[in-house]
A = this chain, B = another copy of it.
Amino acid sequence: MELLKQLGSQAQASAHALSLFNTTEKNKILEQIAQALLEQTPAILSANQKDLENADKNGIAPVMQDRLRLSTERIQEMAEGIRQVIQLPDPVGNVDNMWKNEAGLLIGKKRVPLGVIGIIYESRPNVTTDAASLCFKSGNAVILRGGKEAFHSNKMLVTIMQSVLAHYPSIQYAIQFVTDTSHETAAALMKLTEYLDVLIPRGGAGLIKRVKETATVPVIETGTGNNHVYIDKDAQLDMAIKIIVNAKAQRPSVCNAAETLLIHRDVAKEYLPHIERALLDANVELRADEEASAYLTSASLATDEDWETEYSDYILAIKLVDSIESAIAHINYYNTKHSEAIVTDSYQASQKFLNEVDAAAVYVNASTRFTDGFMFGYGAEIGISTQKIHARGPMGLPELTSIKYIVYGDGQIRE
């Protein structure tokens, strides 16, 4: 793959140069990029039009077409997103801590960029500018490989960003785009260990799985969320209703929405009819196991497949459990390690759930919808990690850095 080797070696050179830029310089360039995007709005819309026409021709579903569609307002939001990244503190160069060792060496852990980051993503063109600006601010070069549905939009966005970088020759390859959208090239990118320090896939479960099974470059898995809300026997009904409706229906298409409701047998008979009414009011379709169905009027019967499905839609699976232990066992078996919530007034149940459920974020008496860089107070995020290596949960700028030990001596040698 000559193309990828070229992109890789260009990216490495620009990454080295960019790692030495200070925050003021990087922010100035990001502002120029935001302005260039606003100025080039007509060119972006026209490129986007091509993608929309192709989508129409290829019979792409309306919901997907909506993800793809740009407008003047959406381009303004992209520029606004870059200005939010400008406001974020720059982690690069900070020394996390510093100490003297026994030999008198002064040892510090200094934040440095990761180097070259690959991003493989699907249909939303805004990922192009979001990911590029976060990688740039954290001193990393990025190689973007977007979905072929958004090819013209993405290419135009990158061309505009590159026209700004062209004024800074040492970092002109800090933002690059893979123009070959074949699966072979994507697979080769996943194995580009010589040049890529990390690969971040952003998209649906199929993409994440493919990357995980193919990549030899270090991967940070993001995104899929088969999340649960467990209503304990000591839960308050009002709070339970409020949380499950919010977790399911406030925005069902996102990864921190809930997909399955688990409810303790002791409260199922009393609570489920009220919960059903609230969910039906929120247009949610219900699929329940046999025991839960006994207390519901509108649910169809759930199959095993429902327990493992991330609907990303107005559909909720419901299951009765005998105990918190059964709830935790079901969750740890079926979940994607994203976000899990318990509703309870029991101290013991809350601690048990927090300790034993394996997920990036575990909630007591709150909606799963809070797993998000903005909600956690991190500002913009590059994604939500569902693995345990390197970063877990919402990833902001610090998660796009590594460390370097800097060591100040005065002639120390090892005895």
Mark A residues whose CB is within 8 Å of B: 16, 20, 99, 101-103, 105, 107, 112, 114-115, 193, 197-198, 212-216, 218-220, 239, 242-243, 245-247, 250, 332, 350, 354-356, 358-367, 369-371, 375-377, 387-390, 392-393, 402-414
A412 adjacent to B367 (CB under 8 Å): yes
CB-CB under 8 A for A389 and B392, given A215-B216, A411-B365: no
**What 3 A-B pairs have minimum CB-CB distances, sorted nearest first?**
A366-B409, A246-B413, A388-B402
- Residue on B with the closest CB to A212? B193
How many copies of this chain are found per oligomer? 2
A389 adjacent to B212 (CB under 8 Å): no
Q: How far is the CA of A21 from the CA of B360 in the complex (A)?
A: 20
Q: Which residues on the B side are within 8 Å of A365 (C-beta)?
A: 408-412
B243 adjacent to A364 (CB under 8 Å): no
B389 adjacent to A197 (CB under 8 Å): yes
Task: List 13 additional contacts besides A16-B356, A360-B404; criterion CB under 8 Å.
Answer: A101-B370, A103-B370, A105-B370, A193-B213, A212-B216, A213-B216, A250-B414, A350-B408, A354-B406, A359-B404, A364-B408, A365-B411, A366-B408
Q: How far is the CA of A388 from the CA of B15 in the complex (A)?
A: 14
Q: How far is the CA of A245 from the CA of B414 in the complex (A)?
A: 11
B362 adjacent to A414 (CB under 8 Å): no
User: How far in angstroms is the closest Cβ of chain B from A401?
Assistant: 9
User: How far in angstroms is the closest Cβ of chain B from A232?
Assistant: 14
- Which of A212, A239, A409 counts the most B-chain CB atoms under 10 A from its CB? A409
- Residue on B with the closest CB to A385? B402
Q: How far is the CA of A106 from the CA of B354 in the complex (A)?
A: 13
Q: How far is the CA of A323 from the CA of B371 in the complex (A)?
A: 50
User: How far in angstroms is the closest Cβ of chain B from A311?
Assistant: 18
- Residue on B with the closest CB to A240? B411
- Residue on B with the closest CB to A413? B246
A-B contact pairs, 22 of them (CB 8 A): A16-B332, A99-B377, A103-B370, A105-B366, A213-B216, A214-B216, A218-B389, A218-B390, A246-B413, A360-B404, A363-B407, A363-B409, A364-B408, A365-B410, A367-B412, A369-B413, A369-B414, A370-B412, A390-B390, A392-B402, A392-B403, A393-B403
Main secondary structure of the interface of A (DSSP, over half): mixed
Q: How far is the CA of A20 from the CA of B377 in the complex (A)?
A: 29
A375 adjacent to B332 (CB under 8 Å): no
- Which of A219, A370, A410 counts the most B-chain CB atoms under 10 A from its CB? A370
B218 adjacent to A387 (CB under 8 Å): yes
B215 adjacent to A364 (CB under 8 Å): no
Q: Which of B102, B115, B362 has a CB less than 8 Å from the CB of A406? A: B362
A101 adjacent to B377 (CB under 8 Å): yes
User: How far in angstroms is the closest Cβ of chain B from A209?
Assistant: 10
CB-CB under 8 A for A242 and B212, given A197-B388, A404-B362: no
User: How far in angstroms is the closest Cβ of chain B from A11?
Assistant: 14
Q: Which of B358, B361, B414 has a CB less than 8 Å from the CB of A370? A: B414
Q: Which residues on the B side are within 8 Å of A103 (C-beta)?
A: 370, 375
Q: Which residues on the B side are within 8 Å of A404 (C-beta)?
A: 358-362, 392
Q: How far is the CA of A193 from the CA of B355 in the complex (A)?
A: 24
A198 adjacent to B389 (CB under 8 Å): yes
Q: How far is the CA of A356 from the CA of B112 in the complex (A)?
A: 10
User: How far in angstroms is the closest Cβ of chain B from A86?
Assistant: 21
Q: How far is the CA of A390 from the CA of B402 in the complex (A)?
A: 8
- Residue on B with the closest CB to A366? B409
User: How far in angstroms is the closest Cβ of chain B from A240?
Assistant: 10
- Residue on B with the closest CB to A213? B216
CB-CB under 8 A for A218 and B219, given A20-B356, A377-B101: yes
- Residue on B with the closest CB to A246? B413
Q: How far is the CA of A365 from the CA of B102 in the complex (A)?
A: 16
Q: How far is the CA of A198 from the CA of B218 in the complex (A)?
A: 11
Q: How far is the CA of A307 from the CA of B393 in the complex (A)?
A: 41
